[in-house]
Amino acid sequence: MTEGSFSRYRQVADRLRAAIARGDVQPGQQLPSEDTLAAEYGLHRTTINKAVRLLAAEGLVDMEHGRGSRVREQRPLIHTSASYVTSAGGAERAQWSSEVQRQGFTGTQDVRSVEVETPPAEVAGLLGLDDDEQVVVRRRTMLADGEPIQLADSYYPASLANGTELAEHARMAGGTIAALERLGVRFRRFHERIRVRVPTREEAGLLGLSPGQQVIQYTRVAYDAEDRPVEVTDHVMTADRNVLTYDLPAFL
Amino acid sequence: MTEGSFSRYRQVADRLRAAIARGDVQPGQQLPSEDTLAAEYGLHRTTINKAVRLLAAEGLVDMEHGRGSRVREQRPLIHTSASYVTSAGGAERAQWSSEVQRQGFTGTQDVRSVEVETPPAEVAGLLGLDDDEQVVVRRRTMLADGEPIQLADSYYPASLANGTELAEHARMAGGTIAALERLGVRFRRFHERIRVRVPTREEAGLLGLSPGQQVIQYTRVAYDAEDRPVEVTDHVMTADRNVLTYDLPAFL
DNA sequence: GAGTGGTCTAGACCACGCC
DNA sequence: GCGTGGTCTAGACCACTCA
């Protein structure tokens, strides 16, 4: 008995959810219009809208103004978060495209911008910078099968990154960690923080989020051999399509 | 300019959010009733309700049917997720109460139930059990300052846990990992998985969640010296009040 | 311009918490 | 019983997409 719903809009949501789970409506396919559903269920469109919004917040459907609601691709993307750590000896550090390809997606990447700026206070704090110090910011969008699924913004102290490939508007081979190693940086440790929050309007636009959807913000700070922070990377990803995993030994 | 809103309900939400951020309404305090706000802003109550719901989904306020909406405690709880790992030599493994106390909360724990059951398929898979094998399930609720903030359900192969303190309805000193060590289990590694999803109705009730709020599900699998899974623990926590952190060396 | 979602108002009735 | 949210309907108008 999946039925334990009270309100009509929840019942409608339950039935639509079940239809999606059964595969009656395939990912990419459009849901019937709200008017159609209203007639079908004998309810007012307002009620239907509330039901569809619920599914949108859950990440099941994608509502687009003027175009209708489509069923989202459900398969999650799994991030082996400490992949850059587990690869011993610095041999082959994990990259976006290969990580994603292994899971059956086509992984691409878009460098949105590379700029020198004054960092947000939080980043400045993590990098241990003074108020007037600047950073190089690399803003990238990671895509899976052409759909934006993650934003990755990396910050480097300008004193370190200026004049290097980090400050150039081009993709970097092997990811940012590998690029830093090419610059002679040796890593000692990483600090990671994961939290969930509401996206900013900009993030919602870049990731194509429906109203009510949340994001996972995954921040990584990399420390060099002298234990000084050399990189802060902020990953913002859709909460429902991304899973993070860790493999840890019992003792470090 | 925080103003970039279009719809009225978003504007109302923005103003309420700002009021909360400014501290005009303190955590624990009640928001004006929807009727009051409707009169104040010259809008219909339906519109106000939509605004408050938005804040509830963000975790800023707590809507209670018949009682009103209150501002939530905002301070997040930080989980040093690999705390049981970093404590070398098995000396002092982290516990809920001390972890929480260090952050200025009063940490308590409630053992909801301890039972022998047939595990859900996913757990059976992680533990490598056959269909007919049973598990001991320990269901606990972790509270911070008396408020439920995390559910922790641990599963053990019945063959391992039956007849031990793991199968008894009582709190265990030092947490489940320490209890397993007392049973002679030695650990080799841990696998962790983090994802975000919509709570079940039961979880929403146990955690006192408002409509639209999401949860973080953090699953940990512990492997013994022979690399056999001995414990699966499922942590379900409110998405907005919990932060997970990791400290990792550059090479394992 | 037709189709689809986004929002708003007006008004009503119900359900829950509490005195 | 009163106050507060929860939900629903009816109806309207707006905004975006696409032919």
Cβ contact B249–A85 (<8 Å): yes
**What are B144-189's pLDDT values in tens digits?**
988 899 999 999 999 888 888 878 877 777 778 888 888 888 888 8
| List of chain B residues whose C-beta atoms are within 8 Å of the C-beta of residue A195 | 76, 242-244
Give the nearest partner residue to B85 out of A90, A239, A252, using CB atoms.
A252
**What are B103-120's pLDDT values in tens digits?**
999 998 899 999 999 999
Cβ contact A252–B251 (<8 Å): no
Distance of CA A124 to the CA centre of its chain: 22
The runs of H, that is alpha helices, within chain A are 8-22, 34-41, 45-58, 83-86, 96-101, 121-127, 158-161, 175-182, 201-207
Closest CA to B116 of B182, B170, B169: B169
Task: Report the alpha-carbon distance of residue A242 to residue A103 in Å, rounded.
Answer: 12
What radius of gyration do chain B's Cα atoms show?
22
Cβ contact A248–B189 (<8 Å): yes
Cβ contact A86–B252 (<8 Å): yes
Closest CA to A66 of A41, A30, A40: A30
Chain A residues touching chain B at CB-CB below 8 Å = 4, 57-58, 76, 81-82, 85-86, 88-90, 186-198, 201, 212, 214, 216, 239-240, 242-252
Residue range B77-98: mean pLDDT, rounded = 67
Angstrom distance, A228 CA to D13 C1':
59
| CA angle, residues A8, A11, A13, in degrees to nearest 5 | 110
Q: Is the CB of A6 under 7 A from strand D?
A: yes
Q: Is the CB of B40 under 7 A from strand D?
A: no
Q: Which amino acid is at A153?
A: D
Is a pLDDT exceeding 50 seen at residue A183?
Answer: yes
Give the nearest partner residue to A250 out of B57, B189, B198, using CB atoms.
B189
**What are A199-242's pLDDT values in tens digits?**
998 999 999 998 889 999 999 999 999 999 999 999 999 999 99
| pLDDT at res. A3 | 45
**What are A64-94's pLDDT values in tens digits?**
999 999 999 889 999 987 655 655 444 456 6
Residues with CB under 7 A from strand C: A 31, 33-36, 45-46, 49, 52-53, 63-69, 211; B 6-10, 42-47, 50, 64-67
Interstrand relation of B215-224 and B187-197 (parallel, antiparallel or unpaired):
antiparallel
Residues 6+ apart with CB under 8 A from A1: none
Nearest CA in chain A to B88: A251
**Count of residues in chain A:** 252
Task: Copy the structure tokens of residue B193.
Answer: 């998985």
| pLDDT at res. A242 | 94
| pLDDT at res. B96 | 81
Q: What is the mean pLDDT of chain B?
A: 89
The reported pTM is 0.90
Residues linked to residue A248 through DSSP beta bridges, in sequence order: B190
- Nucleotide lying nearest to A52, CA to C1' measure: C5
Task: Report the alpha-carbon distance of residue A89 to residue A31 in Å, rounded.
Answer: 50
